[in-house]
């Protein structure tokens, strides 16, 4: 699952990198010349497919399984990146869970599992990133544009992503003096397998018409935003929440 014969310059860790937006981010960063550590939670085949696609395109990648909410596993993930590639320059924390329910009917066990990944997981990954990113690095986390649109049924998910947004500027300020940027991307409706699952054609069509651009986003749209924020042209963007949603409020 690795190709270490290629020259290694900058190195990225992408959590949740085996599927959906995370996979698109991993592939885009690899195409831009970064060695990519593709983190995943449990789907070995999806992770292998992602790494194979990167290597087939001439990139450099390896897959490492780790639960983002497990501090020992995440420390070992960073250890692996440092051992294999020499350091870490970019961390993109795209791992997350989604659960929909009216607040009045919310299963608190579901809430705990959701917040374990989305809040604790973000803190665990951010903690390692803060300790280990090389000077001039970048950390990007993920929120959701539903924090602004406030769609019923998303209460638990939005609460978890509101926490992610809240720490963005704080972490940016805590890393003062190291040239490290910290930002959060909040996608709108994006055509991933997870997003489309369970929706009717009519629901998808309505969601597609909601943004002024009148389409769903693609994983590649979001990957392009990440490439900007973690690349040389995004160095003056720091401590920001970027709503990549085609113009939704």
Which positions are annotated as active-site residues? 157
Closest CA to 13 of 123, 124, 125, 118: 125
Residues with Cβ < 8 Å from 186, sequence gap 6 or more?
142, 143, 144, 145, 147, 148, 161, 165, 241, 242, 243, 244, 245
Any residues with CB less than 8 A from the CB of 44 and at least 6 apart, and which?
A: 65
The span from the CA of 235 to the CA of 221, in Å, is 19
* CA–CA dist 100, 19 (Å, integer): 20
Taking alpha carbons only, the member of 243, 246, 238 closest to residue 218 is 246
Cβ–Cβ under 8 Å, residues 74 and 13:
no
3 state DSSP class of 110: helix
């Amino acid at each position: 699952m690795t190709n270490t014969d290629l020259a290694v310059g900058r190195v990225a860790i992408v959590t949740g990198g085996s599927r959906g937006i995370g996979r698109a981010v991993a592939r885009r960063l690899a195409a831009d010349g970064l060695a990519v550590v593709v983190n995943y939670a449990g789907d070995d085949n999806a992770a292998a497919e992602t790494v194979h696609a990167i290597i087939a395109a001439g990139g450099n990648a390896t897959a490492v399984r780790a639960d983002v909410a497990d501090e020992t596993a995440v420390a070992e993930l960073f250890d692996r990146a440092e051992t294999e590639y020499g350091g870490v320059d970019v961390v993109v924390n795209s791992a997350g869970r989604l659960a929909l329910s009216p607040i009045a009917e919310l299963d608190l066990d579901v809430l705990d599992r959701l917040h374990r990944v989305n809040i604790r997981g973000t803190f665990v990954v951010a903690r390692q990133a803060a300790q280990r990113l090389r000077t001039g690095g970048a950390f990007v986390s993920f929120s959701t544009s539903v924090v602004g649109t406030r769609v019923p049924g998303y209460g638990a998910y939005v609460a978890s992503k509101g926490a992610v947004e809240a720490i963005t500027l704080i972490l940016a300020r805590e890393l003062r003096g190291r040239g490290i940027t910290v930002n959060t991307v909040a996608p709108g409706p994006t055509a991933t397998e997870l997003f489309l699952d369970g929706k009717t054609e009519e629901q998808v069509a309505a969601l597609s018409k909601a943004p002024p651009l009148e389409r769903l986003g693609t994983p590649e749209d979001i990957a392009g935003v990440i490439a900007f924020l973690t690349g040389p042209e995004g160095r003056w963007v720091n401590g920001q929440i970027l709503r990549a949603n085609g113009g939704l409020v």
